[in-house]
Amino acid sequence: MGIFTYYVLPVASLAAFLATQSVSLAGAATTGRLYAQAGRPTVVVNDATRIQRDVAAMQADMRVLQEDQKMLLARIMGLEQEIQNRDERVKELQNLLTATDNRFEALDREWRQRFDALNAALEQERASRSQEIQAVGKAMAAEIVRVEKSAAAAAKPSAPSAYSGKYKELVVQKGDTLSGISSLAGVSIESIREANGLKSDVIRVGQVLKIPTK
């Protein structure tokens, strides 16, 4: 039974043996008394009544021991059952711990997969945004160049028309210069020189100049 081995004391056999010894002792006492009555030397024999009491006491002690043994056996069986119940509880806890570990591993794998997917999506979004920013930057740079070219073209003065032979006369006033007259008339200085036969840009107050017309 379990991990324990139990030995039941043979109380009945021991009681029978003690009863047999009691009868033998009683017979021996009777024989001793008979020898004494016949004038023979008296044989000293233990008191049979005292021996019977001792045997009865031993039998009572054996019964007590037997009851104690039964109680001890019941206690041992209870302990074995308790140990078995604890073993079952430990197995249940081990199974629960294993299931919990497996659940944690599954959750860890799931969260890692989600994190990797999110990280990949963020990297892809970052690359897409970077390409969009680069494209916008290039478009803005091209637009700035176009605007600058347009502004430069608008600010550049138009080239004066070539001299066509037609002219109008202009009297030189104080402070006039050949370049100023050229700008106001919208003709080149060379065409004014050509129309007036000038070899330099020097002009005089009151001088009549021929100003080419378009």
Separation of alpha carbons 155 and 149, rounded Å: 10
pLDDT grade for 159, boundaries at 50, 70 and 90: very low
pLDDT at 24: 46
Note the pLDDT tens digit of each residue in 97-145: 888 888 888 888 888 898 899 889 988 888 888 888 988 888 888 888 8
Mean pLDDT for all residues in the chain: 76
pLDDT at 214: 67
Asked whether the beta carbons of 211 and 192 are under 8 A apart, the reply is: yes
The distance of Cα 175 from the centroid of its chain, to the nearest Å, equals 89
SS3 label, residue 140: helix
C-alpha distances in angstroms, 146 versus 122, 135, 141, 151? Answer: 36, 16, 9, 9
Note the pLDDT tens digit of each residue in 17-69: 545 544 444 444 444 444 444 454 444 445 678 888 888 889 888 999 999 99
pLDDT at 74: 92
| Mean pLDDT of all residues in 171-196 | 89
pLDDT at 13: 52
In the chain, % of residues over pLDDT 90: 14
In the chain, % of residues over pLDDT 70: 70
Question: pTM for this one?
Answer: 0.32
| Mean pLDDT of all residues in 74-81 | 92
Separation of alpha carbons 16 and 66, rounded Å: 16
pLDDT grade for 1, boundaries at 50, 70 and 90: very low
pLDDT at 143: 82
CATH class of 167-212: alpha beta
DSSP letter (8 states) at residue 29: H
